[in-house]
Amino acid sequence: MKLQIVNPKSKLVRRPYGGIAVILAESFGLSDLSSVAFAKEEAKNLKSQIETCPPSVWRNRKSQITLLTAFFALLTLYFAPTTFADGSIIGWGGQVMGVNLDGGFIAISARGSYSLGLKQDGSIVAWGDNHYGQCNIPSPNVDFVAIAAGTAHGLGLKNDSSIVTWGNNEYGLSNIPLPNTDFIAISAGYFYSLGLKRDGSIVAWGRNDYGQCNIPSPNTDFIAISAGWYHSLALKKDGSIVAWGFNNYGQCNIPAPNSDFIAIATGGEHSLGLKQDGSIVACGRNSERQCNVPSPNSGFIAISAGGSHSLGLKQDGSIVAWGDNYYGQCSIPSPNSGFIAIAAGGSHSLGLKQDGSIVAWGGNYAGQCNIPPPNSGFIAISARGSNGLGLKRNGSILAWGRSTSSVPSPNANFIDIAAGAEHNLGLKQNGSIVAWGTNRYGECSIPSPNADFIGIAAGTYHSLGLKRNGSIVAWGQNSFGQCDIPSPNTDFIAVAAGSDHSLGLRQNSMIVAWGRNDSGQCNIPLLNCGFVAVAAGGRSGPIMLGPMGHSLGLKQDGSIVAWGANVYGQCNIPSPNTGFVAIAAGEYHSLAIKADGSIVVWGDNRYGQCNIPSPNADFIDIAAGGEHSLAIKKVCQYKLTGDLNDDCRVNLYDFASMAANWLIDCNIDPNNPACIPK
């Protein structure tokens, strides 16, 4: 969990609903404060804190207080709902998300928990699970004519008939048999691969414990191939299917008559064959009815088989889906029309439209369905483990990850979000908290009265709520005392929840820490003062041994202090340690935003979570997952004259250049002469 401040010189304008940051941010335009009098009272509190820390710590804060006091008259005029910079979500590291699927695609492939799309220009786009590098397409990413997604590796066929492979390299997956030429088709399975040669022969490599790479003789006259978990299918010129490999469910027993087939598909442990007459034949495991083709079984032109579900594409461009639907992988989004290709992953599905756009649905616990469109209008993000939340400008929440339940209805009027390992929290405008997801430790059981909250934080299996009176409420797992708030439980202005520890920031700019402390994550370094934001990281799964948990504190001067577990360098802030305006702590890595909108990441980089996508600019929010990172990239519809900090509006921060334009907001008044379309 992280909390962010607003810097007048920064491009960042982000809500942290609680404390000093709330006073500064909401006093300059947010509409959630009850009155200007409340802001005045907080300004007095700030003045009283100056004696707590050395004068140098408060030098910049004094100027902010002066600014706050000087503009009370303007605040009275400006205290109305306004709009802010928002943007799109991108994710990198162990989860790749936020790719553009709006058009230009000619082919799709899915397997396991990730997806591939082939573009008209011959490049490949990948998204979803990336723990084995299966989303890292090798350079040069050009001249591809076909793609195949395996469980944790990928294949690309070049226009020179050679194969490129990437991702997991167990079982020699990257060792394409020589000569790597004359290939016309590819297929990737569970840690093994198939390649079809121009002469009709098949080449297989990789895992072979069930004989899935042992091509039956004669190895000739093949025209199509498909690799499953542990079994393989190949289509002959004469329309017959050859099957080999694991056959415990009869997935290799092609029903008679074995003729007139024009397409094949292998699922986890079932097989599909498409006949010339447009009917589908299925065999193999049927525990989820994945072999029960819906009626009428006619008019099909393409097939695809997933882990335990099946897809069929009709002549009219509609998709039929059957089998396991636990993650909604069989619930085709509307309108179900205009599709030209299909692909079934482990628990998700893809459809390619005539306009070249890709539609994804089903399981999204690894980002394999991307950010549902439109990927825009986001003002805040939160992550823990593989769980993620995005808050839209309109007050709605987008959720993905390990928590399979949807956002409770009505999905509206939210002002803050917090993602736990398997549960989620949302703060409503009326001060109440909504919780959903796994509730094994009571982390979703909000104590009564559920009212007057101004801040939230979600740990792995515990939750925190900050009350307007400055007290903290905690609930959920308490194995390490992470829910036992130290006395006195007063004067808090911000909270953060780690794996098994908690942080609270007091009005006097000091941090209080409690809970698990085996890595020193609760030992705040001296001097414990001058803090304006806190963040807590650590594991995102069940209780583990060893160093677990680290903490971050953002100082008023823009520097970061870090303490706790440091096995991967997650507490080693890169130099120069200045100019930071926001912080976030993950499992073993940390993120921060600079005042110029760039991101700095450090710590564990085994999955590329520290490799910030280029260009590293215009970011307005960050979140650290277990082994991936998330950020919101700012999108402004207009370039507004006088908008000094690029927050998509002219407001009090731009007072030096306001003149007559200081109340202009192009999101509300796009026809104003000061609004220049980009």
Model pLDDT for residues 550-575, shown as the tens digit of each residue: 999 999 999 999 999 999 999 999 99
Q: Phi first, then psi: give them for residue 70, nearest 5 degrees.
A: -65, -25
Q: Phi first, then psi: give them for residue 308, nearest 5 degrees.
A: -140, 25
**Average per-residue pLDDT in the chain?**
86
Model pLDDT for residues 198-246, shown as the tens digit of each residue: 999 999 999 999 999 999 999 999 999 999 999 999 999 999 999 999 9
Higher local confidence (pLDDT), 644 or 219: 219
Q: What pLDDT does residue 104 have?
A: 97
Q: Which residues of 545-560 are buried (b: 16+ CB within 10 A; e: fewer)?
A: eebbbbbbbbbbbbeb
Percent above pLDDT 70 for the chain: 80
- Cβ contacts of 43-46, under 8 Å, gap ≥ 24: 43/68, 43/69, 45/507, 46/20
Hunting for tokens 């064959």 — which residue is that?
Answer: 273
Is 50 exceeded by the pLDDT of residue 59?
Answer: no
Model pLDDT for residues 380-413, shown as the tens digit of each residue: 999 999 999 999 999 999 999 876 568 999 999 9
Helix, strand or coil, per DSSP, at residue 558: coil
Higher local confidence (pLDDT), 329 or 404: 329
Helix, strand or coil, per DSSP, at residue 138: coil
Q: What pLDDT does residue 303 have?
A: 98
- Taking the CA of residue 671 as centre, how many other CA atoms within 13 Å lie in the half-sphere pointing to its CB? 0
Highest mean pLDDT among 5-19, 75-89, 560-574: 560-574
550 bridge partner residues: 564
Residue 185 tokens read as 């088709």
565 with 547: CB under 8 angstroms? yes
| Cα–Cα distance, 469 to 147 (Å, whole number) | 57
Residue 337 tokens read as 């029309």
Q: First and final CA of the chain: distance in angstroms?
A: 34
Helix 36-48 and helix 55-70: axis angle, to 10°? 160
Mean pLDDT for 98-127 is 97
Q: What pLDDT does residue 71 have?
A: 39
User: What is the fold of 86-90+373-630?
Assistant: Methylamine Dehydrogenase; Chain H (2.130.10)
Mean pLDDT for 364-383 is 94
Residue 179 tokens read as 């000569």
Q: What pLDDT does residue 505 have?
A: 98
| Cα–Cα distance, 489 to 215 (Å, whole number) | 70
Is 50 exceeded by the pLDDT of residue 357?
Answer: yes
Numbered ranges of CATH 2.130.10.30 in the chain = 86-90+373-630, 101-362
362 with 398: CB under 8 angstroms? no
**Residue 73's pLDDT band (cuts 50, 70, 90):** very low
Q: Which residues of 97-112 are buried (b: 16+ CB within 10 A; e: fewer)?
A: bbbebeebbbbbbbbb
> Residue 465 has what DSSP assignment?
E
| Cα–Cα distance, 633 to 86 (Å, whole number) | 8
Q: What pLDDT does residue 660 have?
A: 44
**Residue 546's pLDDT band (cuts 50, 70, 90):** low
Q: What pLDDT does residue 672 have?
A: 73
346 with 329: CB under 8 angstroms? no
**Residue 603's pLDDT band (cuts 50, 70, 90):** very high
Is 90 exceeded by the pLDDT of residue 292?
Answer: yes
Is 60 exceeded by the pLDDT of residue 17?
Answer: no
CA distance readout (Å), 246 to 207, 219, 231, 608: 12, 19, 5, 35
Q: What pLDDT does residue 524 have?
A: 97
Is 50 exceeded by the pLDDT of residue 65?
Answer: no
Among 332, 288, 280, 279, smallest CA distance to 309 is for 288
| Cα–Cα distance, 425 to 405 (Å, whole number) | 12
Is 80 exceeded by the pLDDT of residue 668?
Answer: no
Q: Which stretch of 78-87, 222-231, 544-553 has the lowest confidence by average pLDDT?
A: 78-87
| Cα–Cα distance, 613 to 210 (Å, whole number) | 40
| Cα–Cα distance, 228 to 264 (Å, whole number) | 11
Higher local confidence (pLDDT), 440 or 35: 440
Q: What pLDDT does residue 423 have?
A: 95
Q: What pLDDT does residue 548 have?
A: 77
Is 50 exceeded by the pLDDT of residue 293?
Answer: yes
Write down the pTM of the prediction: 0.84
Is 70 exceeded by the pLDDT of residue 647?
Answer: no
| Cα–Cα distance, 618 to 379 (Å, whole number) | 13
275 bridge partner residues: 261
Strands 144-149 and 153-158: antiparallel
**Residue 670's pLDDT band (cuts 50, 70, 90):** confident
- CATH number attached to the domain at 101-362: 2.130.10.30
Q: Phi first, then psi: give them for residue 23, nearest 5 degrees.
A: -60, -45
